[in-house]
Amino acid sequence: RTVQKLQSEVDRLEEELSGEREKSHLLQEEVETTLKDIQAI
């Protein structure tokens, strides 16, 4: 039972990490786009 709880927690954390990585990637793209816009001024 303890192993199942731990595995469940690991799965949850992995999903959370994946979501945060996606957010980070989107923010990075937004920053790059903004920098390009600034350079074009």
Give the SS3 label for residue 21.
helix
pLDDT at 36: 97
Tens digits of residue pLDDT in 1-41: 999 999 999 999 999 999 999 999 999 999 999 999 999 99
pLDDT at 28: 99
Amino acid (one-letter) located at 5: K
Helices and strands in the chain: count of H runs, count of E runs: 1, 0
pLDDT at 39: 97
The alpha carbon of 41 is separated from its chain's Cα centroid by a whole number of angstroms, namely: 30
Separation of alpha carbons 20 and 30, rounded Å: 15
Q: What is the pTM of this model?
A: 0.75
pLDDT at 6: 98
Residue-range domain boundaries for the chain: 1-41
pLDDT at 37: 97
